[in-house]
Copies of this chain bind each other. A is one copy, B any other.
Amino acid sequence: MIKKSQLAWEYLENYRRQALPLLELFFHKQKEEAKKVGELPAESLDYFHNLCRRGKFIRGAFITLGYHLGGGTKKGEILLPSLAIELFHTAILIHDDIMDEDNLRRGIKTAHTYFTDYARRTKIPQPEHFGLSQAITLADTGFYLSWQLLLESSFSSSLKLKAGQELAKYISRLTYGQMLDITNETSLTTPLSGPAAAEETLKRILKIFRYKTAEYTGSLPLIIGYILAGGEEKIEALYNYGLAFGWIFQIVDDLLGIFGQQEKLGKSLGSDLVQAKKTILVYYLLENDRQDLLNQLRKLLGKKKITPTDLEKAKQLFRDSAAYTKARQLSQTYLQEGLEMIPQLSSHSADQDLLESFLYLVLEREK
Protein backbone atom coordinates (compact mmCIF):
# COMPACT_ATOMS: atom_id res chain seq x y z
CA MET A 1 0.00 0.00 0.00
CA ILE A 2 1.28 3.45 -0.88
CA LYS A 3 1.46 5.78 2.09
CA LYS A 4 -0.72 8.86 1.89
CA SER A 5 2.36 11.00 2.49
CA GLN A 6 4.20 9.49 -0.49
CA LEU A 7 3.32 12.20 -3.02
CA ALA A 8 4.43 14.97 -0.67
CA TRP A 9 7.69 13.20 0.10
CA GLU A 10 8.40 12.97 -3.60
CA TYR A 11 7.55 16.63 -4.11
CA LEU A 12 9.83 17.56 -1.21
CA GLU A 13 12.67 15.36 -2.46
CA ASN A 14 12.36 16.82 -5.90
CA TYR A 15 12.40 20.35 -4.50
CA ARG A 16 15.43 19.56 -2.41
CA ARG A 17 17.31 18.11 -5.36
CA GLN A 18 16.73 21.24 -7.42
CA ALA A 19 17.21 23.75 -4.64
CA LEU A 20 20.43 22.48 -3.07
CA PRO A 21 22.71 23.31 -6.02
CA LEU A 22 21.24 26.82 -6.18
CA LEU A 23 21.81 27.24 -2.47
CA GLU A 24 25.40 26.18 -2.95
CA LEU A 25 25.92 28.67 -5.78
CA PHE A 26 24.40 31.44 -3.70
CA PHE A 27 26.66 30.75 -0.75
CA HIS A 28 29.68 30.41 -2.99
CA LYS A 29 29.03 33.93 -4.29
CA GLN A 30 28.30 35.32 -0.84
CA LYS A 31 31.49 33.79 0.53
CA GLU A 32 33.49 35.72 -2.03
CA GLU A 33 31.84 38.90 -0.75
CA ALA A 34 32.46 37.94 2.86
CA LYS A 35 36.11 37.15 2.17
CA LYS A 36 36.68 40.76 1.18
CA VAL A 37 35.90 41.62 4.78
CA GLY A 38 37.73 38.72 6.39
CA GLU A 39 38.30 35.01 6.85
CA LEU A 40 35.99 34.54 9.81
CA PRO A 41 32.91 35.92 8.04
CA ALA A 42 33.59 33.55 5.13
CA GLU A 43 34.09 30.56 7.42
CA SER A 44 30.93 31.49 9.29
CA LEU A 45 29.00 31.34 6.03
CA ASP A 46 30.30 27.81 5.54
CA TYR A 47 28.80 26.83 8.85
CA PHE A 48 25.55 28.61 7.98
CA HIS A 49 25.34 26.92 4.59
CA ASN A 50 25.94 23.54 6.18
CA LEU A 51 23.23 24.11 8.77
CA CYS A 52 20.85 25.45 6.14
CA ARG A 53 21.20 22.59 3.70
CA ARG A 54 20.40 20.06 6.43
CA GLY A 55 16.91 21.49 6.87
CA LYS A 56 13.71 19.72 5.91
CA PHE A 57 12.99 22.36 3.24
CA ILE A 58 9.25 22.16 3.86
CA ARG A 59 8.85 25.95 3.93
CA GLY A 60 10.83 26.45 0.75
CA ALA A 61 8.85 23.71 -0.98
CA PHE A 62 5.64 25.37 0.20
CA ILE A 63 6.65 28.57 -1.59
CA THR A 64 6.91 26.61 -4.83
CA LEU A 65 3.61 24.86 -4.05
CA GLY A 66 1.87 28.20 -3.42
CA TYR A 67 3.39 29.47 -6.65
CA HIS A 68 2.03 26.47 -8.52
CA LEU A 69 -1.45 26.93 -7.00
CA GLY A 70 -1.36 30.56 -8.14
CA GLY A 71 -0.81 29.40 -11.71
CA GLY A 72 2.86 30.33 -11.80
CA THR A 73 4.80 28.79 -14.65
CA LYS A 74 8.42 29.90 -14.14
CA LYS A 75 9.29 26.72 -12.26
CA GLY A 76 13.00 27.35 -12.46
CA GLU A 77 12.81 30.96 -11.33
CA ILE A 78 10.74 30.44 -8.22
CA LEU A 79 13.44 28.23 -6.69
CA LEU A 80 15.83 31.03 -5.76
CA PRO A 81 13.36 33.29 -3.91
CA SER A 82 11.82 30.18 -2.30
CA LEU A 83 15.13 29.64 -0.54
CA ALA A 84 14.73 33.01 1.20
CA ILE A 85 12.52 31.41 3.82
CA GLU A 86 14.97 28.55 4.35
CA LEU A 87 17.72 31.09 5.08
CA PHE A 88 15.44 32.99 7.40
CA HIS A 89 14.45 29.80 9.17
CA THR A 90 18.04 28.73 9.68
CA ALA A 91 18.82 32.18 11.09
CA ILE A 92 15.94 32.26 13.55
CA LEU A 93 16.81 28.72 14.70
CA ILE A 94 20.27 30.01 15.61
CA HIS A 95 18.70 32.62 17.89
CA ASP A 96 16.25 30.00 19.17
CA ASP A 97 19.01 27.60 20.07
CA ILE A 98 20.75 30.30 22.11
CA MET A 99 17.55 30.86 24.07
CA ASP A 100 16.94 27.14 24.55
CA GLU A 101 20.62 26.50 25.30
CA ASP A 102 20.57 23.59 22.87
CA ASN A 103 23.80 22.01 21.64
CA LEU A 104 22.55 19.96 18.72
CA ARG A 105 20.61 21.08 15.66
CA ARG A 106 20.01 19.22 12.42
CA GLY A 107 22.59 16.70 13.52
CA ILE A 108 25.45 19.19 13.96
CA LYS A 109 26.55 21.61 16.67
CA THR A 110 24.30 24.61 17.20
CA ALA A 111 25.91 27.90 16.14
CA HIS A 112 26.78 29.19 19.61
CA THR A 113 28.28 25.80 20.49
CA TYR A 114 30.20 25.70 17.22
CA PHE A 115 31.73 29.15 17.79
CA THR A 116 32.42 28.48 21.45
CA ASP A 117 34.42 25.42 20.40
CA TYR A 118 36.10 27.49 17.69
CA ALA A 119 37.16 30.02 20.34
CA ARG A 120 38.52 27.29 22.61
CA ARG A 121 40.49 25.79 19.73
CA THR A 122 41.97 29.12 18.65
CA LYS A 123 42.55 30.29 22.24
CA ILE A 124 40.17 33.22 22.06
CA PRO A 125 39.41 34.34 25.62
CA GLN A 126 35.88 34.06 27.05
CA PRO A 127 34.94 31.37 24.52
CA GLU A 128 31.30 31.16 25.57
CA HIS A 129 30.72 34.86 25.19
CA PHE A 130 32.48 34.77 21.85
CA GLY A 131 30.24 31.88 20.77
CA LEU A 132 27.12 33.74 21.81
CA SER A 133 28.18 36.94 20.05
CA GLN A 134 29.15 35.24 16.80
CA ALA A 135 25.94 33.22 16.75
CA ILE A 136 23.75 36.29 17.30
CA THR A 137 25.57 38.07 14.49
CA LEU A 138 25.56 35.15 12.06
CA ALA A 139 21.79 34.89 12.37
CA ASP A 140 21.55 38.62 11.64
CA THR A 141 23.60 37.95 8.50
CA GLY A 142 21.12 35.24 7.59
CA PHE A 143 18.16 37.60 7.86
CA TYR A 144 19.69 40.03 5.40
CA LEU A 145 20.98 37.39 2.99
CA SER A 146 17.45 36.04 2.98
CA TRP A 147 16.20 39.47 1.88
CA GLN A 148 18.83 39.53 -0.85
CA LEU A 149 17.52 36.24 -2.19
CA LEU A 150 13.95 37.48 -2.29
CA LEU A 151 14.55 41.00 -3.57
CA GLU A 152 17.13 40.14 -6.20
CA SER A 153 15.08 37.36 -7.79
CA SER A 154 13.74 37.67 -11.32
CA PHE A 155 10.13 38.51 -10.49
CA SER A 156 8.52 41.88 -11.11
CA SER A 157 9.18 44.68 -8.62
CA SER A 158 5.56 44.92 -7.58
CA LEU A 159 5.19 41.17 -6.92
CA LYS A 160 8.45 40.99 -4.98
CA LEU A 161 7.39 44.00 -2.99
CA LYS A 162 4.03 42.48 -2.12
CA ALA A 163 5.72 39.25 -1.08
CA GLY A 164 8.26 41.20 0.97
CA GLN A 165 5.52 43.09 2.77
CA GLU A 166 3.82 39.84 3.77
CA LEU A 167 7.13 38.41 4.92
CA ALA A 168 7.93 41.43 7.10
CA LYS A 169 4.44 41.42 8.62
CA TYR A 170 4.37 37.71 9.44
CA ILE A 171 7.90 37.64 10.81
CA SER A 172 7.23 40.59 13.12
CA ARG A 173 4.30 38.59 14.45
CA LEU A 174 6.48 35.50 14.77
CA THR A 175 8.83 37.44 17.04
CA TYR A 176 5.87 38.42 19.24
CA GLY A 177 4.99 34.74 19.52
CA GLN A 178 8.60 34.04 20.40
CA MET A 179 8.42 36.58 23.23
CA LEU A 180 5.43 34.78 24.69
CA ASP A 181 7.25 31.50 24.28
CA ILE A 182 10.22 32.78 26.27
CA THR A 183 7.95 33.90 29.09
CA ASN A 184 6.09 30.65 28.98
CA GLU A 185 9.17 28.55 29.28
CA THR A 186 10.31 30.31 32.37
CA SER A 187 7.03 30.44 34.20
CA LEU A 188 6.06 26.82 34.68
CA THR A 189 8.12 26.46 37.80
CA THR A 190 5.48 28.47 39.61
CA PRO A 191 2.66 26.23 40.93
CA LEU A 192 -0.09 25.70 38.40
CA SER A 193 -2.91 23.23 38.47
CA GLY A 194 -6.66 22.89 38.26
CA PRO A 195 -8.97 23.39 35.27
CA ALA A 196 -8.79 27.21 35.33
CA ALA A 197 -5.01 27.16 35.15
CA ALA A 198 -5.16 24.52 32.44
CA GLU A 199 -7.60 26.59 30.41
CA GLU A 200 -5.31 29.62 30.71
CA THR A 201 -2.32 27.50 29.77
CA LEU A 202 -4.01 26.06 26.69
CA LYS A 203 -4.91 29.55 25.47
CA ARG A 204 -1.31 30.67 25.85
CA ILE A 205 0.09 27.55 24.23
CA LEU A 206 -2.23 27.79 21.25
CA LYS A 207 -1.44 31.48 20.83
CA ILE A 208 2.27 30.75 20.78
CA PHE A 209 1.72 27.86 18.36
CA ARG A 210 -0.28 30.09 16.06
CA TYR A 211 2.15 32.97 15.80
CA LYS A 212 5.46 31.26 16.35
CA THR A 213 4.88 28.21 14.19
CA ALA A 214 1.57 27.63 12.47
CA GLU A 215 1.14 30.87 10.51
CA TYR A 216 4.80 31.09 9.69
CA THR A 217 5.44 27.45 8.76
CA GLY A 218 2.28 26.80 6.80
CA SER A 219 0.44 29.93 5.77
CA LEU A 220 3.28 32.35 5.08
CA PRO A 221 5.30 30.34 2.53
CA LEU A 222 2.19 29.27 0.62
CA ILE A 223 1.04 32.89 0.48
CA ILE A 224 4.45 34.20 -0.61
CA GLY A 225 4.58 31.72 -3.48
CA TYR A 226 0.99 32.43 -4.43
CA ILE A 227 1.65 36.19 -4.48
CA LEU A 228 4.76 35.75 -6.63
CA ALA A 229 2.55 33.95 -9.15
CA GLY A 230 0.29 36.99 -9.18
CA GLY A 231 -2.50 35.25 -7.28
CA GLU A 232 -5.00 37.10 -5.14
CA GLU A 233 -8.34 35.43 -4.50
CA LYS A 234 -7.25 32.26 -2.66
CA ILE A 235 -5.14 33.92 0.02
CA GLU A 236 -7.63 33.31 2.82
CA ALA A 237 -8.07 29.64 1.96
CA LEU A 238 -4.30 29.22 1.73
CA TYR A 239 -3.98 30.88 5.09
CA ASN A 240 -6.40 28.42 6.66
CA TYR A 241 -4.93 25.32 5.04
CA GLY A 242 -1.44 26.50 6.01
CA LEU A 243 -2.55 27.18 9.54
CA ALA A 244 -3.94 23.67 9.96
CA PHE A 245 -0.71 22.29 8.53
CA GLY A 246 1.27 24.46 10.93
CA TRP A 247 -0.73 23.37 13.99
CA ILE A 248 -0.06 19.74 13.17
CA PHE A 249 3.60 20.57 12.58
CA GLN A 250 3.95 22.06 16.04
CA ILE A 251 1.98 19.37 17.86
CA VAL A 252 4.13 16.71 16.23
CA ASP A 253 7.20 18.78 17.15
CA ASP A 254 6.24 18.61 20.81
CA LEU A 255 5.60 14.87 20.54
CA LEU A 256 8.90 14.21 18.77
CA GLY A 257 10.78 16.22 21.39
CA ILE A 258 9.94 13.45 23.88
CA PHE A 259 8.95 10.41 21.81
CA GLY A 260 11.20 10.92 18.77
CA GLN A 261 14.50 9.32 17.86
CA GLN A 262 17.47 11.60 18.42
CA GLU A 263 19.40 10.40 15.34
CA LYS A 264 16.51 11.15 13.02
CA LEU A 265 15.51 14.33 14.82
CA GLY A 266 19.00 15.84 14.83
CA LYS A 267 18.39 17.63 18.10
CA SER A 268 18.53 16.67 21.75
CA LEU A 269 15.54 14.81 23.16
CA GLY A 270 14.07 16.16 26.37
CA SER A 271 15.27 19.70 25.75
CA ASP A 272 11.68 20.90 26.23
CA LEU A 273 11.83 19.47 29.74
CA VAL A 274 15.12 21.21 30.50
CA GLN A 275 13.58 24.48 29.32
CA ALA A 276 10.37 23.71 31.25
CA LYS A 277 8.46 24.49 28.07
CA LYS A 278 4.71 24.41 28.19
CA THR A 279 4.25 22.00 25.34
CA ILE A 280 0.95 20.50 24.31
CA LEU A 281 1.90 17.39 26.28
CA VAL A 282 2.42 19.42 29.41
CA TYR A 283 -0.90 21.10 28.84
CA TYR A 284 -2.82 17.85 28.65
CA LEU A 285 -1.09 16.62 31.75
CA LEU A 286 -2.07 19.81 33.60
CA GLU A 287 -5.62 19.49 32.35
CA ASN A 288 -5.76 15.99 33.74
CA ASP A 289 -5.50 17.55 37.20
CA ARG A 290 -3.94 14.53 38.92
CA GLN A 291 -1.68 15.87 41.64
CA ASP A 292 0.55 12.76 41.69
CA LEU A 293 1.36 13.04 37.97
CA LEU A 294 1.89 16.78 38.26
CA ASN A 295 4.36 16.32 41.07
CA GLN A 296 6.27 13.79 39.03
CA LEU A 297 6.34 16.19 36.10
CA ARG A 298 7.65 19.05 38.26
CA LYS A 299 10.59 16.89 39.27
CA LEU A 300 11.56 16.54 35.62
CA LEU A 301 10.94 20.09 34.46
CA GLY A 302 13.86 22.41 34.67
CA LYS A 303 16.45 19.68 35.32
CA LYS A 304 19.82 20.69 33.93
CA LYS A 305 20.25 17.37 32.16
CA ILE A 306 17.68 14.82 31.10
CA THR A 307 19.03 11.27 31.42
CA PRO A 308 17.64 8.36 29.40
CA THR A 309 15.87 7.25 32.60
CA ASP A 310 14.28 10.70 32.97
CA LEU A 311 13.12 10.50 29.39
CA GLU A 312 11.52 7.12 29.97
CA LYS A 313 9.77 8.50 33.04
CA ALA A 314 8.48 11.43 31.01
CA LYS A 315 7.17 9.11 28.30
CA GLN A 316 5.44 7.00 30.91
CA LEU A 317 3.96 10.09 32.52
CA PHE A 318 2.59 11.48 29.28
CA ARG A 319 1.16 8.09 28.38
CA ASP A 320 -0.40 7.47 31.81
CA SER A 321 -2.04 10.87 31.83
CA ALA A 322 -3.39 10.23 28.33
CA ALA A 323 -1.58 13.42 27.26
CA TYR A 324 0.05 11.58 24.37
CA THR A 325 -3.27 10.28 23.07
CA LYS A 326 -4.99 13.63 23.45
CA ALA A 327 -2.23 15.44 21.59
CA ARG A 328 -2.53 12.92 18.79
CA GLN A 329 -6.28 13.48 18.72
CA LEU A 330 -5.79 17.23 18.51
CA SER A 331 -3.55 16.79 15.50
CA GLN A 332 -6.33 14.72 13.90
CA THR A 333 -8.74 17.60 14.41
CA TYR A 334 -6.40 19.90 12.54
CA LEU A 335 -5.97 17.26 9.85
CA GLN A 336 -9.71 17.43 9.24
CA GLU A 337 -9.63 21.24 9.13
CA GLY A 338 -6.83 21.14 6.60
CA LEU A 339 -8.56 18.53 4.45
CA GLU A 340 -11.73 20.61 4.36
CA MET A 341 -9.89 23.57 2.86
CA ILE A 342 -8.46 21.65 -0.08
CA PRO A 343 -11.42 21.93 -2.52
CA GLN A 344 -11.13 25.72 -2.31
CA LEU A 345 -7.47 25.63 -3.27
CA SER A 346 -7.63 23.70 -6.49
CA SER A 347 -10.09 21.81 -8.64
CA HIS A 348 -7.37 19.61 -10.13
CA SER A 349 -7.27 16.19 -8.53
CA ALA A 350 -3.47 15.99 -8.77
CA ASP A 351 -3.11 19.23 -6.77
CA GLN A 352 -5.73 18.10 -4.29
CA ASP A 353 -3.91 14.81 -3.78
CA LEU A 354 -0.67 16.66 -3.18
CA LEU A 355 -2.22 19.04 -0.64
CA GLU A 356 -3.77 16.09 1.15
CA SER A 357 -0.48 14.23 1.09
CA PHE A 358 1.35 17.14 2.72
CA LEU A 359 -1.00 17.00 5.70
CA TYR A 360 -0.16 13.33 6.16
CA LEU A 361 3.51 14.00 5.68
CA VAL A 362 3.63 16.46 8.53
CA LEU A 363 1.53 14.16 10.70
CA GLU A 364 3.84 11.22 10.14
CA ARG A 365 7.16 13.03 10.13
CA GLU A 366 9.96 11.68 12.28
CA LYS A 367 12.26 14.67 12.03
Contacts and interface: CB of A to CB of B under 8 A. Distances in A.
A179 B144 contact: no
A211 B37 contact: yes
B140 A176 contact: no
A199 interface: no
Interface string A169-212: 10111011111101100110110000000000000000100010
Interface stretch (A54-62, A128-136, A262-270, A355-363): A128-136
Nearest to A37: B176
15 contacts: A38-B179, A40-B179, A44-B179, A99-B129, A124-B186, A124-B187, A129-B186, A130-B182, A143-B143, A144-B168, A144-B171, A148-B165, A148-B168, A161-B161, A164-B164
A98 interface: yes
A40 B180 contact: yes
Contacts of A34: 176
Count of chain copies: 2
Tell me if A's interface is mostly helix, strand, loop or mixed: helix
A33 interface: yes
A38 B180 CA distance: 7
A144 B37 contact: no
Q: Which A-B residue pairs are the 10 nearest by beta carbons?
A: A41-B176, A37-B176, A147-B168, A157-B157, A99-B133, A141-B175, A157-B158, A144-B171, A144-B172, A157-B161
A137 interface: yes
Given A37-B176, A44-B179, A138-B175, 6 more contacts: A41-B175, A119-B186, A129-B186, A130-B182, A147-B164, A160-B161
